[in-house]
């Protein structure tokens, strides 16, 4: 019985670990994209303040909209990573210990 339980938990653990690796990779990409969009929004804001034109303000609003969407995506993947880490830890806690075997 313990062997089957261990095999099931190990299978689930491998699945969660695989998903966690992919989520962390996606998070790294989103980190870079978020930095880019945030910088673009900041630059557009400054241009809007300096030029005081409706076009510059629209560009700032659009850039800020993109940055906000990226912040939401980043937050969602961060939550996903945290959930996967918690699930991994729960599975590790459920993993039955292997009996020590002597190989003499």
- The full set of domains in the chain, from first to last, is 2-91 (1.20.58)
The whole-model pTM stands at 0.77
DSSP percent split of the chain into helix, strand, coil, nearest 5: 90, 0, 10
In this structure, how many other beta carbons lie within 10 angstroms of the beta carbon of residue 32? 9
Tens digits of pLDDT across the chain (104 residues): 567 788 888 999 999 999 999 999 999 999 999 999 999 999 999 999 999 899 999 999 999 999 999 999 999 999 999 999 999 999 989 887 766 555 55
């Amino acid at each position: 019985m313990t062997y089957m339980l261990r095999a099931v938990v190990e299978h689930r653990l491998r699945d969660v670990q695989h998903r966690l690796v992919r989520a962390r990779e996606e998070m790294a990409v989103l980190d870079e994209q978020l930095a880019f969009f945030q910088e673009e929004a900041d630059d557009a804001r400054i241009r809007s303040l300096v030029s005081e034109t409706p076009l510059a303000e629209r560009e700032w609003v659009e850039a800020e909209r993109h940055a906000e969407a990226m912040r939401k995506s980043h937050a969602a993947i961060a939550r996903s990573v945290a959930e996967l880490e918690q699930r991994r830890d729960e599975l590790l806690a459920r993993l039955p210990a292997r009996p020590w075997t002597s190989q003499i």
